[in-house]
Amino acid sequence: MPELAEVEYYRRRWDAGLGSTVARVLLHPRARVFNATDTVLLARLLTGATLISSEAAAKQMLFRFAADDSAPLWLGIHLGMTGELTVQPADHAPRKSDHLVLAQSDRALVFTDPRMFGRVLFHAGPDAPDWWTSLAPAILSPAFTADAVAAFLQRRARTPIKPVLLMQERFPGIGNWMADEILWRAALHPKRPAGSLTPAEIKTLHRETRHVATHALRIIGSSGAPTLPDPPATWLFPHRWADGGTCPKTGAPLIREEIGGRTTCWSPARQPL
DNA sequence: TCCTATGTTGTATG
DNA sequence: ACATACAACATAGG
């Protein structure tokens, strides 16, 4: 499920554990999500450490821990396709897909991911790790300019615009549903070659990318609701999966087709080729 | 049984 | 070196 705004939503679930110490670390060391991680070190150093702060950027989360006898500890989590963070009772018994459980005195912080496309990263040291600091500039940062988008589209000139929007090195945090939402708002057909957009269309694409990020973060990311909220019916999102879905702007039928290896939904009445 | 899934990466080809 | 396309990963649910 997780793109930019869902990642922010899940990051905030673990706020319940801020300022509390990890009493026990439970994990499945063979799980694919730990492929790049020293699980022995992670378990040893996080036991007794205190959760100090967290941040989300793109689809990556960073949880910072402090311990009396070690350097700062940095836990990274990527939710992949099916990952979630939840808070469970302190005596939570890990289920099949609960790959990492940080048990505190009053609760357990749980990372669960049935499909295991997610990742857990760990770093001990004074400075934030490369996998965090090397992320592309955020869509809502000043560095995300229309000129930067234009230059990127030019380099990918022959690729359909839809898969280009999924490239994290320029559109960090954008995933399949946000890309479709952006193209629908910008009235651009997803198969348009990236290099075929006019300067005006690029400005529109840039504006709508920021718009969708801003409002998705407001609606989903800032929500304290116990379950993940959905965007409203005025967005493409609630209509995109149902057969026979109609465009909330034009009332015309929506189309679904695989583009760049991902199911893509668009409104032909609004987004002509 | 067969198909789908809000993601990323490695590999082959041009 | 760079751009492009696609299979592979692993599992659950309709």
Give me the pLDDT at residue A21, please.
98
Torsional sign, CA A227, A231, A233, A237: negative
Strands of A84-88's sheet, edge to edge? A22-27, A98-104, A108-112, A84-88
The angle formed by the CA atoms of residues A146, A152 and A155, to the nearest 5 degrees, is 145
Torsional sign, CA A25, A30, A34, A36: positive
From the alpha carbon of A6, which nucleotide's C1' atom is closest? B6
Give A175's contacts (C-beta < 8 A, 6+ positions apart). A2, A3, A4, A59, A166
Q: Which residue is nearest to nucleotide B9 (CA to C1')?
A: A117
What b/e string do you get for A201-238 counting C-beta neighbours within 10 Å, with b at 16 or more?
A: bbebbbebbeebbebbbebbbebeeeeeeebeeebbbe
Give me the pLDDT at residue A168, please.
97
List chain A pLDDT tens, one digit each, 273 residues. Answer: 799 999 999 999 999 999 999 999 999 999 999 999 999 999 999 999 999 999 999 999 999 999 988 899 999 999 999 999 999 999 999 999 999 999 999 999 999 999 999 999 999 999 999 999 999 999 999 999 999 999 999 999 999 999 999 999 999 999 999 999 999 999 999 999 999 999 999 999 999 999 999 999 999 988 888 899 999 999 999 999 888 899 999 999 999 999 999 999 999 999 999
Predicted structure pTM score: 0.96
CA of A143 to C1' of B9 (A): 26
**Catalytic pick from A94, A238, A262, A268?**
A262
Label residue A155 exposed, middle or buried (CB < 10 Å: 0-12, 13-18, 19+): exposed
